[in-house]
Structure 1
Amino acid sequence: MFLVAVAAGAVLRLVAVLGYRPVLWFWADSFVYVNAALDPQPLESRPSGYSLFLWALQPFKSFAAVVVVQHLLGLATAACVYALLRRRGGLPGWGATLAALPVLFDAHMVQLEHLVMADPLFTFLVTAGVTVLLWRPRPAVWTAAAGGLLLTAATLTRTVGLAVLVVALVALVVARAGVRAVVAAALASAVGLGGYAAWFHAEHGSYGLGQSNVWLWARTMSFADCAKIRPTGEEQVLCPADPPGDRPAPPVYIWDSGSPLAKVGKDADRERLSGAFAKEAILAQPVDFLLTGVRDALWSFEWTRRVYPTPGPQSAYVFPSSVKPFTDKIASSGRTAPELTTAYQGERGDTTVAEPYAGWIRAYQEQGYVRGPLLAALMLAGLVAVVMRWRRLGGPALLPWATAVTLLVLPPLIAAFDHRYVVPVLPMACLAAGLAFGRRSRAGEGHVTSS
């Protein structure tokens, strides 16, 4: 039954491949990743894990090959959900298949897999890492190390993975996985993160995974009141002029020429001052900071997708009816989009919309996605599973449910709400909900061992 569902999910992805060739682009993030793949380097504003993924696929000299691999990762993500629910949840084949259907058929997940962006790789690595850690009630040393490495790779793909890694280590401790397993996962993670931090230091002069204080500062613009913060240093130039109710979305403050950030010339000064202001704002208004992030996270549960920050079609996250050819606008390191894509695959990578396939996938995306209330129901089912098993420290549902909450709340808390950040929540929510109905989860782990 699951193989039939996978085949149908593969057909859906094949329609996307035939309709939008070779890929869809997210301006200008896609080209930043491609540039770092052509010349492997640790990026300043984000980790370079996805660029290394593109670098590994460059011998194919084809963005079409990249997108096919990403669609295969989407199918593999669903396979992880199915396999873990069969093994640890004891669900019948039809039940585990039902839990994996949202991953297989959510149109927005398929669309993200078709973008040159880090999200599909990140989603797979998180799901695979959680699957490996939960494969046995008490993971072996090598299993724990493998899970730690997968979540480390996720962290080097998107920085929010660091919070997921911490959640996983805490969950191992709470579940009494054993000292050796916890140490193995922690050491594997430390080696991976430490190696990347050393590479970052060699390039940029400081240890870290990236420098992104500007995003946190932009988040504080939603609530910051300088009458309460009372900044006294250079950072006071970043105070917003408008009252909170009249302020635009956080990303606008990063790119708009009228933003207070535009008054700061050097990038190094921007990082330093935005970091100082954000720290002062959060310490002065901690309740406002938390409420702003939680309120935005709740938008994930609305019936219709909220297009944020501007109204109207959000072409970056849907299959569009048309795509403009590349212009000469600079994308990264002084090179244009045509130059970067030509350097990667030997020819321009302009997107071609091919009918009738593109029309088919556009028609499907109108209704073929997980509505917010269904996501809320999945999260609630996972919470029930954790609460009902409090005597067994939450049972196996604890890790995927805590991971889902982390991925749902943290991005709008420290950056901004964006439905692109909600999609990776889906596999974890499906896992937690499936474990809530699992026979073995209800009966206890002893039955797993004896079986």
Structure 2
Amino acid sequence: MAFADCARMDPPPDVKVLCDPRPPERRPPSQEYIWAKDAPLVLLPGITFSKENDDLAARFAMLAITAQPLDYAASVLEELGRSFRWDRPIYPDAEIYGYYQFPVTEPGPPGRYPAQVGAEYAKLYEQGAIGTEIVEPFAGWLRAYQSMVRLPGPVLLAILLVPPVAAIARRRKGRRLAAGPAWLVPWSVAVVLLITPAAAAEFDYRYVLPAVPLACLAAAQSIRPELLRQSGGDSRAKEFGDDIPPNVRL
């Protein structure tokens, strides 16, 4: 919905009910199309998250992507770029942003209609009221922490660049590990965790968080051979014999 143009997509009648006549720059964040009360998908008969509605929305999405691939790619890059901003603006809206802040007062019930339905089912599951309790002084400690500590986006980008840059530098010096690089798995997972929300939904701060420790792990693993060499790893290897292959000494 961030870029879908039904005039270019020419959807069939049953899919056309999801079209928004407003130009993309005047539309709300994409998530509103499954949460807002007046969203075309929410207005369809029955509950919002049914198989029929899911299939309909999937057809709409695939038609938009195949009809406007460049617009889709631009949308993905724009959403991905939000992960690497220096500041931390409110996005996608104040309500969602507020969910990720440790509050001073207990938060109220969910405001979005489908979430309200889910809250009713949660009450049945809990066999009573549901809610969030704020316990001091621990909550105050967390509020103080969140007001001072954060990881700026450019720093995360720099951490992600460490492994490939270290690999290129090592290759230029003619040093190659016999086995595959240990950093490749956590680094790939971190990249996928960042790209997938931008490609399938939209940017959200909660999607960035799980990528951070994996990116840090990959960065540490990519520079570990150099650290071992500087700390005397080669000299210790010589104590066990000069016939040890260089890659084992690493």
Task: Answer yes or no: same fold by TM over 0.5.
Answer: yes
**SS of residue paired to 2:163:** helix
Question: Where do 1:226-237 residues align within 5 Å?
Answer: 226-237=6-17
Report the equivalent of 1:395: 181
Report the equivalent of 2:239: none
Q: Conserved in 2, the CA contact under 8 Å of 1:224 and 1:244?
A: yes
More helix by share: 1
Report the equivalent of 1:276: 59
User: 2:125 is matched by which residue type in structure 1?
Assistant: L
Report the equivalent of 1:363: 144
Rg: which structure is higher? 2
Question: Where do 1:15-414 residues align within 5 Å?
Answer: 221-266=1-46, 267-311=50-94, 314-324=97-107, 331-332=117-118, 335-337=121-123, 339-342=124-127, 350-388=131-169, 395-414=181-200
Deviations 1:346-400 (A, max 9, x none): xx65332233332222011112121212111101112313444566697222222
Q: 1:362 to 1:249 in 2, by over 3 A?
A: same
Q: Conserved in 2, the CA contact under 8 Å of 1:385 and 1:432?
A: no
Q: 1:357 to 1:291 in 2, by over 3 A?
A: same
Q: 1:383 to 1:367 in 2, by over 3 A?
A: farther
Q: Conserved in 2, the CA contact under 8 Å of 1:440 and 1:447?
A: no
- Cα distance in 1 for partners of 2:215, 2:64 equals 32
Q: 1:235 to 1:425 in 2, by over 3 A?
A: same
- Cα distance in 1 for partners of 2:38, 2:108 equals 29
User: 1:292 is matched by which residue type in structure 2?
Assistant: S
Q: 1:239 to 1:312 in 2, by over 3 A?
A: closer
- Following superposition, the deviation at residue 432 of structure 1 comes to 1.8
Q: 1:435 to 1:235 in 2, by over 3 A?
A: same
Q: Conserved in 2, the CA contact under 8 Å of 1:395 and 1:441?
A: no
Q: Conserved in 1, the CA contact under 8 Å of 2:122 and 2:130?
A: no
- Following superposition, the deviation at residue 408 of structure 1 comes to 0.7
Q: Pick 1 or 2: higher relative contact order, CA cutoff 8 A, min separation 6.
A: 1
Q: Conserved in 1, the CA contact under 8 Å of 2:84 and 2:152?
A: yes
- Following superposition, the deviation at residue 243 of structure 1 comes to 0.1
Q: 1:298 to 1:325 in 2, by over 3 A?
A: closer
**SS of residue paired to 1:261:** helix
**Superposition RMSD in Å:** 3.0
User: 1:236 is matched by which residue type in structure 2?
Assistant: K
> How many residues matched?
224
Q: 1:277 to 1:349 in 2, by over 3 A?
A: closer
Q: Conserved in 2, the CA contact under 8 Å of 1:407 and 1:425?
A: yes
User: 1:410 is matched by which residue type in structure 2?
Assistant: T
Deviations 1:133-158 (A, max 9, x none): xxxxxxxxxxxxxxxxxxxxxxxxxx
Q: Conserved in 2, the CA contact under 8 Å of 1:378 and 1:430?
A: yes
Q: 1:308 to 1:325 in 2, by over 3 A?
A: closer
- Cα distance in 2 for partners of 1:235, 1:441 equals 57
Structure 1 unpaired stretches of 5+: 1-220
Report the equivalent of 1:15: none
- Cα distance in 1 for partners of 2:95, 2:57 equals 30
**TM-score, normalised on structure 1?**
0.45
Report the equivalent of 1:421: 207
- Cα distance in 2 for partners of 1:256, 1:333 equals 16
Q: 1:442 to 1:290 in 2, by over 3 A?
A: farther
- Cα distance in 2 for partners of 1:304, 1:352 equals 30
- Following superposition, the deviation at residue 251 of structure 1 comes to 0.8
Percent identity of equivalent pairs:
35
Q: Conserved in 1, the CA contact under 8 Å of 2:163 and 2:223?
A: no
**SS of residue paired to 2:183:** helix
Report the equivalent of 2:223: 437
- Cα distance in 1 for partners of 2:170, 2:40 equals 50
Report the equivalent of 1:156: none
- Following superposition, the deviation at residue 442 of structure 1 comes to 8.8
Deviations 1:64-96 (A, max 9, x none): xxxxxxxxxxxxxxxxxxxxxxxxxxxxxxxxx
Q: Conserved in 2, the CA contact under 8 Å of 1:253 and 1:259?
A: yes
Q: Conserved in 2, the CA contact under 8 Å of 1:293 and 1:412?
A: yes
Structure 2 unpaired stretches of 5+: 230-244
- Cα distance in 2 for partners of 1:376, 1:257 equals 37
